Amino acid sequence: MLKLYLTRHGETEWNIEKKMQGRKNSPLTSLGIQQAQLLGNRLKETPIDLIYSSPSERAVQTAEIIRGERDIPVINDSNLLEMDLGAWEGQTFDKVKEKDPQEYHHFWYEPHLYSPVNNGETFTKVLERALTSVNQWIQQHKGQQILVVSHSVFLKRLMNYFENQPLDKLWADPYMHSASLSMIELDEKQAKIVQYADCSHLESIHIKTT
């Protein structure tokens, strides 16, 4: 049985500015760094065998902060990149809503109807590449504990799949807070969600825990 710990990168400047990030990068804020440190403290007694991270700088930095002084390999995996949002990347949510109101609505409220804008990626494609890596890990890391550092849309799509929920339920609670912690136990035959977007380690910085 593989134990998969999953987290989203710490808060970034574009998160504060309400900008769509996708494949583009934005640096962690001081709060984002603190979030990663608190998650690292929570996991410091958990025997993590290795860390897989999205190659995005915000995710790699989060992974390295969580690792701290421990001798744990951090491996970049391009399958863990955030959803490619095409022309929306770097624009504010309000600007995207103004420019592409229908697809913006589909993205957030009817994701099963979403059609990418200007060479963006589908939710189906995100899941396909996510499962490519997960299936490899199941074969390669039996009995191990792995930490995955990725992004909000990527992680929500993966958890949506493991919950056996339809795509139109993608954005159902819980919210995937920065540096929240999820955990799945899985093998070739089954997957069990043990924890989903828990934020109890972030209470000291007033992050909601429900």
β-bridge mates for residue 184, sequence order: 4, 193
**Separation of alpha carbons 106 and 22, rounded Å:** 17
Closest to 12 in 3D by CA, of 25, 2, 3: 25
Per-residue model confidence as pLDDT tens digits over 26-47: 999 999 999 999 999 999 999 9
* Domain enclosing residue 54, as ranges: 2-84+121-202
pTM for the whole structure: 0.95
Residue 150 falls inside a structural domain: yes
Residue 112 falls inside a structural domain: no
Number of domain units in the chain: 1
β-bridge mates for residue 75, sequence order: 52
Residue 104 falls inside a structural domain: no
Known binding residues for substrate are 8-15, 58
How much is the mean pLDDT over the chain? 96
Which are the catalytic amino acids? 9, 82
Q: Domain holding 79: CATH number?
A: 3.40.50.1240
pLDDT, position 27: 97
Residue 99 falls inside a structural domain: no
Residue 208 falls inside a structural domain: no
Known binding residues are 8-15, 58
Per-residue model confidence as pLDDT tens digits over 170-187: 999 999 999 999 999 999
Q: What is the DSSP string of 112-169?
A: GG---SSS---HHHHHHHHHHHHHHHHHH-TT-EEEEEE-HHHHHHHHHHHTT--GGG
pLDDT, position 65: 99
